[in-house]
């Protein structure tokens, strides 16, 4: 087998100090070029002649894909893949892989922590205490959790993990996911709701965990926030683009809903002057839900094995655009 080349695109400032799992490439004659890219032009030059592109930095748009004259796959290091033009890749005969299942537990933990924090008014109390205010009634009303409803939008790996974490607190878990099969709801003891609006109207806590694409963009907007209870809380630990920030700000400011826990924003890093950050009924974190001592190591390992499978001529097990198969480039 001839020598193959991998173009590994990384951020210019060394944000990710991790290395690929080289054991995945054992037996392959491969050259891995780690390139810190700070501009689209640098990325275009880096991908030319590469058999596989491993993308850790920047957007992989149609222009960059068009420059991939040999690539058979684009391997992402994240669970989400909304920064990659998946359709353009499929048309070019290029597979796109992600690292699904590397951090579903961590994201579920984060979403559960958001729900508990919002319920118990942890951040509200903490801010008051640090400013010298001892005011127990300020957090009222505080729901009991037991018997309340957690409504999950999306029952994939993260949604299922979240359901398992919330049930021991006595929450009744319901979900809306038109793509999930019935056995998933039975297996995880989650009540199926066939209408998003019905789920929103019945839930005390709404957590969304869906991929961001053209079908889910602004899935939560004014109509949906108005459908929620005024006492309900909204949590998003997936992608900022699935909720409309302007509508969410109005919902929180005008009292359509009680509060929100946000790990993601429509533009990241979000502007420190983002109006949502000025609200006392918002808990915010910097897209950190997937963090743990294991998840980033697993991301490197899984991405490496996806790339190696492509170089060996195999079909990787985390392809997100299977329609690319009909246009695959020949070796």
Nearest to 290 by CA among 68, 16, 1: 16
Question: Does the active-site annotation cover 140?
Answer: no
Phi and psi at residue 165, in whole multiples of 5°? -80, -30
Residues with Cβ < 8 Å from 88, sequence gap 6 or more? Answer: 61, 62, 65, 66
Question: Does the active-site annotation cover 218?
Answer: no
Q: Check if the beta carbon of residue 92 is closer than 8 Å to that of residue 68.
A: yes
Given the structure tokens 């669970």, which residue do they identify? 79
Among residues 19, 191, 267, 268, the one annotated as catalytic is 268
230-142-219-280 Cα dihedral, nearest 10 degrees: 90
Q: Enumerate the β-bridge partners of residue 52.
A: 6, 73
Given the structure tokens 């032009």, which residue do they identify? 41
Q: Check if the beta carbon of residue 197 is closer than 8 Å to that of residue 227.
A: yes
Given the structure tokens 């490496």, which residue do they identify? 304
Q: What three-state secondary structure class fits 75?
A: strand
Among residues 197, 287, 291, 329, the one annotated as catalytic is 287
Residues with Cβ < 8 Å from 210, sequence gap 6 or more? Answer: 153, 154, 156, 216, 219, 238, 239, 242
* Interatomic CA distance for residues 25 and 303, integer angstroms: 11
Question: Does the active-site annotation cover 110?
Answer: no
Q: Dump strand ranges (E) for the chain.
A: 4-10, 30-36, 52-55, 73-76, 95-97, 149-153, 172-176, 191-192, 205-208, 233-236, 259-262, 282-284
Among residues 110, 160, 165, 239, the one annotated as catalytic is 239
Q: What three-state secondary structure class fits 212?
A: coil
Angle of helix 122-130 relative to helix 104-120, nearest 10 degrees, comes to 60
Q: What residues are labeled active site?
A: 239, 268, 287
């Amino acid at each position: 087998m001839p020598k193959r080349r991998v173009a590994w695109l990384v951020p210019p400032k060394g944000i990710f100090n991790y290395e690929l799992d080289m054991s995945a490439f054992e037996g392959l004659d491969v050259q891995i070029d780690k390139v810190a890219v700070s501009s689209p032009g640098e990325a275009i030059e880096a991908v030319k002649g590469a058999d596989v592109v491993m993308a850790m930095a920047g957007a992989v748009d149609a222009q960059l894909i068009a420059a991939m004259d040999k690539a058979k796959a684009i391997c992402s290091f994240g669970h989400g893949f909304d920064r990659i033009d998946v359709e353009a890749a499929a048309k070019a005969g290029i597979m796109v892989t992600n690292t699904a299942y590397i951090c579903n537990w961590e994201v579920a933990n984060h979403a559960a922590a958001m729900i508990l924090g919002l319920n118990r008014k942890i951040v509200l109390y903490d801010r008051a205490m640090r400013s010298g205010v001892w005011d127990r009634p300020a957090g009222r009303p505080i729901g009991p959790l037991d018997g309340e409803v957690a409504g999950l939008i999306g029952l994939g790996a993260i949604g299922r993990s979240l359901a398992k974490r919330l049930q021991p607190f006595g929450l009744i878990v319901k979900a809306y996911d038109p793509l999930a099969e019935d056995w998933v709801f039975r297996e995880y003891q989650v009540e199926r709701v066939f209408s998003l609006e019905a789920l929103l109207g019945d839930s005390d806590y709404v957590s969304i965990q869906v991929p961001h694409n053209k079908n889910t963009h602004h899935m939560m907007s004014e109509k949906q926030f108005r459908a929620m209870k005024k006492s309900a809380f909204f949590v998003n630990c997936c992608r900022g683009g699935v909720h409309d920030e302007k509508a969410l700000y109005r919902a929180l400011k005008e009292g359509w809903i009680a509060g929100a826990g946000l790990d993601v924003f429509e533009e990241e890093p979000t502007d420190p002057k983002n109006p949502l950050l000025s609200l006392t009924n918002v808990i915010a974190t910097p897209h950190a839900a997937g963090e743990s001592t294991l998840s980033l190591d697993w991301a490197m390992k899984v991405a490496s094995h996806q790339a190696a499978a492509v170089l060996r001529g195999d079909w990787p097990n985390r392809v997100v655009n299977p329609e690319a198969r009909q246009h695959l480039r020949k070796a």
